[in-house]
Structure formats: C-alpha cells, structure tokens
A and B are shown apart, each in its own frame.
Chain A
C-alpha cells in the first residue's frame, strides 16, 4: 500500500470511482477498507453505493491514521454519507426500509470518501453535501 503522493501535484481533474454495493458486499472489513484506501491513495474520490457499518468506519479511520504515519504527504481522508431522511417517515416506510436493509444491505445511501489533499472539507447538513476542494 506504500505509494508516494507528490507534494505540489496539481489537480488537473477529479477522478471519481464508483463502487457498487455488490463489489464490496462479500469482502471482509479489512479487505473492504483496504480496497477503499488503495483507491484513495491513487488520488481518487470514491463514491460507494451504500454505507459502511459503524465498525467499518472506525476501522477506516484507524487504517487511515496508520497510513498518515507511513505514507509521505498523505494527510488522511474526508468522508461523508448521504442517506434518506426517515425521521419523519411513517412506521410502515421505516419497517420496509429496515427489512430491505437486512435483506440486501444498505444501498439507499451514498458514501463519499476522498483524500484530504484533494477534498479540503465536506460541508454537510441534513439536506445537502458540499465538497470544498483544496
């Protein structure tokens, strides 16, 4: 996983990599996180169809911190999740969503993960997501 990100590299364009839920569904936590971080180290912004489980998010932060320590000029990641707001939804909608989540996994959300060298900040509130670039 050791790659060098050259300091002062100018961003000529944004490289987005879409990962479908099925692509990562069968992977273990470690493999899933490794796959994401490999793409991030390649200066890609990952758009994951679905969201990571809390323990996977924690593992992603742990592994990111270990990489910050070892990969030159890697500063970490920016991460945000967009998900349907079910707070005001009725119980039937919530139940249907819950059952679908159990059966096919959480694919109603989108997760955006990018290298901190490219994404300076992700501003998030319940209704919008803004990617501020470095």
Chain B
C-alpha cells in the first residue's frame, strides 16, 4: 500500500515538474522466454556490455539485475533508460527438472531455492516500474496463466506494456498467436539471439515511453 502511494505521488510530481530523466523499464515474463537475451542485446547495442548470463537451463536469472543509464538514440532522438531484468515468473519450481540438464542434486536444490526467492523479488519490483516489456517465447502457447497474471497485474497498476514475441528465428514461432492472445497490446516479433527486428523494437520502445 505504502509502495503504491509512493509510486502514485512520484508520478504526480514527475508529471507536474516534467523531470523524468530516465525511464525505468522492466523485463518480465516466464522463465526461458529470453528476457536476459533481449536485455543483453540492447545493452550490447548501446553500451557494448552484457547484462547477465544466459543458459538453456530455466531460471538462469535468479536475482533482479539493473543496468543504469543506457542511452538509446533513435531517429535523432535520445532517451536514457534504466533497465531491470527480472527472474522468470512461475507458479512451480521442481529441482528435479534441473537434474535433466545435468546439474548435480545439491546444485539443482540450491538453484530451486534461489529461483523461488527470485520470483518473489520480481513480483515485488513490479510497483517500481515506469513501463514493462513482457517477453514471451513465440514457440510456446501464450495462453498460460502466468502470462495472464503478469498482464493482469500490469493493467491493475496502470503500467504501460509492450509485448515481445521472442525467438522468431525458430520455425515453430507464431507471432500471430501471441498477438491474438493479447489483442489490446503492441506485439513485436523479434529474435534477441540473432538481433532480428530490433529496429522495430526500438521504435516501439520509444512509443512506449510516451504512454508513461
């Protein structure tokens, strides 16, 4: 409640004094959708540095990662962003799933414990975002409850949203299915891994800041 009040007053003050210097953009989504890959792609494009490690094993990002002051230039305009990469949100964590990827039992158990804490942390950060990029895996069914819960929470908090349908480099990707699942939102199909369609993404990102 206090967080919500603080955020509300912050927004009012920012609107009055029009002093928003940088936009805090969160990357949210289910595990293994490519949030960190996209964050890395953006940071590499504009700062030459990575934001986090990526892996095929789910829940690679288990702590919120923040990248301050990322300057992005697009069509003669420059904006400064603060990017927040969050752990993938899930409703269940089973350490045995990690064993399938060759992890030792003790490592898998540790990873599961960290992942549960990461999910709690990601949800708690929601209130601090100016806007959110929801990253979905375009090869997966978009109608999962986790996706719907994330979207519902963003709408309830009046946080502007851009949906990314990632992994369009894979044959199974269906961007249209993602668009059909969330017809009220901008959906951009891209490949963070191969850097496909990033121009359209940056254009949408700039459009998103106008809604803040």
Contacts and interface: CB of A to CB of B under 8 A. Distances in A.
Interface of A: 53-55, 57-58, 61-62, 64-66, 68-69, 75-81, 87, 116, 122-126
18 contacts: A54-B153, A55-B153, A57-B149, A57-B153, A58-B123, A61-B149, A64-B92, A66-B116, A68-B93, A69-B117, A75-B93, A78-B92, A81-B148, A116-B94, A122-B145, A124-B141, A124-B145, A126-B143
A87 B92 contact: no
Contact of A66 (B94, B120, B152): B120
B91 A78 contact: yes
- In which size bucket is the chain B interface? 20 to 34
Interface of B: 89-94, 112-113, 116-117, 119-120, 123-124, 126, 141, 143-145, 148-149, 152-153, 155-156, 183
Contact of A58 (B93, B112, B117, B149): B149
A10 to B, nearest CB: 18
A116 B91 CA distance: 9
Nearest to A55: B156
Given A76-B93, A116-B91, 8 more contacts: A61-B89, A61-B91, A61-B149, A62-B124, A65-B93, A66-B120, A79-B145, A126-B143
Chain B interface, DSSP helix/strand/loop, else mixed: helix
A58 B141 contact: no
A81 B141 contact: no
Given A66-B120, A69-B116, A87-B183, A58 B91 contact: no
A57 B152 contact: yes
A123 B92 CA distance: 15
Contacts of A123: 141
B119 A61 contact: yes
A44 to B, nearest CB: 16
Contacts of A77: 91-92
